[in-house]
Structure 1
Amino acid sequence: MREIEGIDEAMAVLKPYWEEIEDNFDRHNHRFLQLAGADHDSIGRVLRAHLVVESLLNTYLPEYFGLEDFDELRLSFAQKAKMLPAAKSSASFVRPGIIQLNKVRNKFGHQLNHIVEFQEINSIMQILDIARSGAKFDTPIDAIEAFAPVACAFLSIPPKHLQEAFVEAFKNVHTELPD
């Protein structure tokens, strides 16, 4: 007994269409090769930054909101980012950049050959201008990578007395959602 029963009959039905089937396959294969040839370095660097920030979000949010079984909520990155306080918290400072990081990551999800431009990371650049003043970035991907540890630092929950200092320091900080 063959492992694939009926294949000979299936091939006989398809034989009159074989040239058209091969042309169709070649078109799809060409598109696959284009997508597979995308700059994986950029994709990988953005994805790594995204995953690192998400890891800290998964620690910060349950602690900040006192949530048990947070993982069982199965929230998307965008939902987690929108849960970050928009005011009166050190996390509010990096919130727009985190939301923007997710938008950049999503663009790669829809178009593997997407090229990140500085204008699409303006919130990230504003945060870096403050947190890493004087630093210059050759590419938007370099800036995204520099943003990730800044975001993580502002997502860390310090000891209670430092939390109070952060609340006082950030009491007048309010952020808006990035474009």
Structure 2
Amino acid sequence: MNIPEHDHDAIVRRAIELLGGKQEFFAEADRELADVNGRWKQNVEVIGRILRAHLFVEYYIGEYLAKANPRLGALGEAKISFAQKVALLDASNTDIALILPGIKRLNKIRNRLAHNLDAQVTEEDATVFLGSNRFAALRAARTAEQAQTNEPIEILEDFAKHVAMALNYEFSPLSKAIYQAIQEVQFGRSET
């Protein structure tokens, strides 16, 4: 709707009349602004940490899918959602199966944030991440070496890094070298 510039003053005057005068108009405007400001004042640090973890995991999922399916084409141009990318991961692969529940929970947290602006990671969320036995064992081993917090947001971030490592592992030169070394040392086979 294109309203000519000179009509704005008339619109404001009429809205003031409809609300019963200037005092009532500005009181209502203040109430609505207070509501907006209340929703605006969120814990931006936690929001940022959640979004960073989500974007980070999504990046590594995209990298994994491209490497696992080299003839797939430009995944970025396909404009598929996070959940659709997750659905493309091979759940029959044990390494993937171990991290899938946590990846899905991370998406649930991000969606929760988007729908109600509630920036928090709960103990229940952390429990889902720690349900990945390998992640929990690696984190426990790290905690034995250096102190870590058990704050749910810290667990979420650690899990995101674990996902990156898990998705990258299959295609990394380091993992290929380790696999070849295992074959040669334990089984006397050379893969070269």
Query: Fold-level match, TM-score > 0.5?
Result: yes
CA radius of gyration, larger in: 2
Q: How is 1:135-154 mapped onto 2 (pairs within 5 angstroms)?
A: 135=143, 136-154=148-166
Residues 118-169 of structure 1: CA deviation (Å, up to 9, x unaligned): 1123231122313323435331001011111110011114259839x5xxxx
Question: Aligned residue pairs: how many?
Answer: 162
Structure 1 residue 27: deviation in Å?
2.5
Higher relative contact order (CA 8 A, sep 6+): 1
Please tell me whether residue 158 in structure 1 is matched to residue 165 in structure 2. Answer: no
Structure 1 residue 42: deviation in Å?
1.1
Unaligned 5+ segments in structure 2 are 180-192
Give the alignment partner of residue 59 of structure 1, picking from 57, 63, 75.
63
Which position in structure 1 is the counterpart of 2:93? 88
Q: Matches of 1:39 and 1:72 in 2, distance apart?
A: 33
TM-score (norm 2): 0.73
Which position in structure 2 is the counterpart of 1:175? none
Deviates more, 1:107-116 or 1:76-85: 107-116
Q: Matches of 1:133 and 1:14 in 2, distance apart?
A: 62
Structure 1 residue 19: deviation in Å?
4.1
Please tell me whether residue 110 in structure 1 is matched to residue 115 in structure 2. Answer: yes
Give the alignment partner of residue 50 of structure 1, picking from 47, 51, 54.
54
Moved over 4 A (4+): none
Deviates more, 1:50-59 or 1:60-69: 60-69
Which position in structure 1 is the counterpart of 2:30? 26
Please tell me whether residue 129 in structure 1 is matched to residue 136 in structure 2. Answer: yes
Structure 1 residue 114: deviation in Å?
4.1
The CA RMSD over aligned residues, in Å, is 2.4
**Inter-CA distance 21–105: structure 2 relative to 1 (3 Å threshold):** same
Report % sequence identity. 27
**Inter-CA distance 77–21: structure 2 relative to 1 (3 Å threshold):** farther
Which position in structure 1 is the counterpart of 2:183? none
TM-score (norm 1): 0.78
Q: Matches of 2:78 and 2:45 in 1, distance apart?
A: 32
